[in-house]
Every structure is written in C-alpha cells, then in structure tokens.
Amino acid sequence: MSIPSFIEGYGEVRRFAGAFAAPRDSLRAGARIRAQHPGESKVLPSIRAAILSCGLRDGATVSFHHHLRNGDDVLRAVMHEIAALGLRDIRVAASSLFPVHAPLVEHIRSGVVTRIVSSYVTGPVAEAIAAGDLAQPAVLQTHGGRARAIEAGELPIDVAFVAAPAADLHGNLNGVDGPSACGPLGYPMVDARHAGRVVAITDGLSPHPLTAIDIAQDCVDIVVPVASIGDASKIVSGTTRVTEDPVGLAIAATAARVIDASGLLVDGFSFQTGAGGISLAVAQDVAAIMRDKGVVGGFAAGGVHQGIVSMFRQGLFRTLFDVQCFDLAAVASYREDRGHVAMSASLYANPASKGALVNHLDCMVLGAAEVDLAFNVNVTAVGGGRIIGGSGGHADTAAGAKLALVTTRLSAGGSPKIVEAVECVTTPGETIDAVVTEAGVAVNPRRGDLRDRLAAAGLPLVDIARLRDLAARETGGVRSRAGTRGGRIVAVVEYRDGTVIDVVRERRNR
C-alpha cells in the first residue's frame, strides 16, 4: 500500500493503524447558534434569498443528504444559485452522490466546486473525480466516519441544506409527510446539530407544528418552500429486489446456514443486510430459519428495505432502527409501524460515540467488488481507478458486528472478485469474518472458533487462496494491484476513525 505522508490538497496523513487503534476518548465541537427573535419568521421566498441570508462566502463548506437518492433535486438547485452568485472554491460535503447529481460536474470544471467530501459517489461525478477534474482530492469517508468528523469539528459545515419532505413554519422537519416522503432523515440529523446555518428546503410546507418530527425547530434557521425537492420514487435502486439467479440464490442459502451455525441466531438476534439481490435473498432465508426455530430477534437496522420490513411485520424483530429507506415499502412502514424508529448517522455508526448501534449487531451481510487473500474488501474503485461508490456503512458495520459476512460470486463481468490484493482497501480484512461464494465458505484465520462451528455443521469450507485460484480460472487471470499505481491522487479513502486507509489515483487511458 503506497500512501504518502503528505497529500497535496489534503494535508498531513494519519495512516490507518488498525480497525481499533484509535483512542477511545475524543472531543465534540460546539456549533455556532443564531438566536431567533420573537415574531421573526424563518420562511424565505427562495433558495437564493436563503444563501444571501446565510452570508455564504468563497471557500465555504455546504452539506447535503441523500435520502432522496437518485431522485434528489435540492443539490442541483442550490449549487445552481451558488454558481449564479459568483461564489468559488466551494467544498461540497454530501453524505452520498448519485447519477442525478451530474450537474455538479460543470461546477467542478468551472472552479465553483474544488473539494468534495462524501461516503459514496457514483455516476458522472465519480467519473469526473477519477479523471482528475476536481482541483483537490475528494475525501471518501464512511457513514460513521462522516458523523464523527462533523461532531469532532474536523468537517465544519457553514450551511447545511436539508431536503425536507415536510416542514412547518417553525422549522420542524420530517421525512414521512408531504409529496416527496422518503423516510427518516438520519443523515442530516448530524449536520443540523453542528452546521453554522441550517436551511430546510421543502415541497411540503405546513402552517402548523408537525405531529412527527425528525429534526426539530431549534436546529433550523431558514425554511424555503419550493415546487419540488425531487422524485421520491427514485430512492428505489434497480438492484433492490431478491435475486432470481440460481448461483446467487445458492450463495444466499449458504450464508443463511452460516448465520444459523454461528450460534448467534437465538432470541434477541440483531441483524443488518444490504439492499443487493443476494443480500435480500439472505434475509429471506434467515426469516425462514427464524420462523422454523421460533426465534424473535431484538432489532434489525441500517438502511431499511421491504425484505426487512416483511420480517418485522411477521414479528421476527421487535424493533427496526432506520437511518434511511431503500424503497417506498420502508417509507410506509416508518410512517405506520410503531417500533420502526429513526436513528441518526451518529447513533448508527459513529465510532467515537457512546453507543453506536453497529457495535450491537450480531450479524451483518455485506457485498464486495473485490476480496483479497487478507480478507480486505474493496467497494470503492476498480479497473485502474474507476470509482464505483465507496464505503457507506460497509466498514462501520464490519467493525461492529459479531459476524461480518461477505457474499459474492467468484467473478462478474469477466473479472475475478477474489484476488491476490484488492485495488483499493475499503474495509480491512481484520473486520471480515467469512466470505461466502458459490464454491464454498472461506473463514478468516482470526476466527478459528467460527471455522469449528461451521465445520461441525457440515458447511463447505475452503481456503481463500483456493477461491482466488478458482476465480482466476474462470476469468483467465488475476488483476494486480501494482498495475493500478501511478498518477496523481484524486481521492483519499478514510477509515471510520479518520485515518487514511488507501488512495485512488488518476485513471490511466483517459
């Protein structure tokens, strides 16, 4: 791993030293507060008026959240006004960026935006970063790492712009009412508590106090009513459905057997899974085992989707802790179901908090673009620097869960997924317990206890090196990390504690 001690545009580097090497004590920074006078209205007529009222200047940091995912229109609208006002050198601190945020590319190329901090980037913005268009390296954090950095004052936010499906005249906000309901506002909860100014942009303005509140009025400075904040139907990913592929279903069935054999699947079981096709199938299979055994779980958590909602409504979990909704079924459940509760990104995954929920997970099911012989996982960059996303909550949940499972096919698209060394380390191998593939289950040597349990249950165990060889045989070769090095650093990959675990360099053959 070649990480310099100083990165131009980033600064001095604190290198990753281990998943649990960070000091347990940390500081929480205070937020600047502007008091509201009696009778003063928070409602302003336009986004431009809000920007001017906040006194935004060149070099400022503005934040956005991604609860509307690929249906969000607030970032585009705000950045259009910022550019029209002639502001430059803006840092965009967005919890995630999607293809819908393509208009940001022009602001990057024009110098309006010179810095980006995010937990996940895909689409045209990711391509622009990989091509070296951004003046300074992007910083890719984890969801928990972003919350930690904001609370610690390492990521100071001048103005947080909150896409609010519902807002009242006092500035109370929620994500379950209004025409663009998207579920709990877990990510901007942190921004709203710590930003210098907070601007709620809503297409669901109410004259009366809301009966459900995700972000309270004491955190909000300005409310701007607009015609639309986006299209909530586009929070649904094209991959958010149970796989019908026989290989994927077989992997899911094996993963469910691993969870059962681990000894964790008892009353009080806590669970999280991603929204990919195999992960959804794992949830389905785990639900069947829980019904057969009469197990009632304590909670399911994370980004919530229809599969987890179904388990909850069947009585298989007592509580859902929800930081964001992956589909409209989850939105409806958050609105209707007692026991489906919101959590902030900090409560979810902040490694410096007093009670991150990830630390109480029994099992997390994860995906991967690549896994290597040291069980390191890459979900950030492949193909010589092509940025495909980022950690999100991947590294956070892997560190916290008692059982962190990666489910993956041996290869995809003609490329191996089990490799000698991953191109970019997103999640360190020390936090991954096992990798489940169609060719068997590789258990991390750190988990001899787990290997013994799985062997006793008759699971098909295989060495990780054997999986690499099988993947190479399927695809005709193994990519080498060494072949991706060279070129200037275009993105810095931070672990959840703020240390640098890897970097992404400018793509070759532009």
Whether pLDDT at 509 is above 60:
no
* Token pair of 340 as six digits: 């489906």
Cα–Cα nearest to 325, from 184, 167, 180: 184
Burial of 128 (0-12, 13-18, 19+ CB in 10 A): buried
Continuous segment of H or E residues that includes residue 466: helix 464-475
Condensed to tens digits (0 to 9), the pLDDT of residues 130-188 reads 999 999 999 999 999 999 999 999 999 999 999 999 999 999 999 999 999 999 999 99
Strands (E), 288-433: 297-304, 317-325, 340-342, 363-366, 370-372, 377-378, 381-382, 386-387, 403-407, 411-412, 415-416, 418-419
From first CA to last CA, the distance across the chain in angstroms is 24
The number of beta carbons lying within 10 Å of the beta carbon of residue 476 is 10
HSE at residue 388, side-chain half, CA atoms within 13 A, is 15
Single-letter residue type at 119:
S
The better pLDDT of the pair 482, 336 is held by 336
Whether pLDDT at 500 is above 50:
yes
pLDDT (average), residues 86-93: 98
3-state SS of 58-122 is CCCEEEECCCCHHHECHHHHHHHHHHHCCCCCEEEEECCECHHHCCHHHHHHHCCEEEEEECCEC
Whether pLDDT at 34 is above 90:
no
Longest dimension (CA), the chain: 72
Rounded Cα distance, 57 and 167, in Å: 27
Rounded Cα distance, 147 and 288, in Å: 35
Condensed to tens digits (0 to 9), the pLDDT of residues 410-431 reads 999 999 999 999 999 999 999 9
Please, what sign has the CA dihedral across residues 354, 344, 326, 396? negative
What integer pLDDT is reported at residue 508 of this predicted model? 61
405: pLDDT confidence band, cut at 50, 70 and 90? very high
**CB of 430 within 8 A of CB of 18?**
yes
For 257-283, the DSSP string reads: HHHHHTT--STT-EEEE-SSHHHHHHH
Select, from the ranges 232-236, 240-244, 319-323, the one with the highest average predicted confidence (pLDDT).
319-323
Q: At a CB cut-off of 8 Å and minimum separation 6, what does 249 contact?
A: 243, 281
The pTM score is 0.96
- Name the 3-class secondary structure at 229: coil
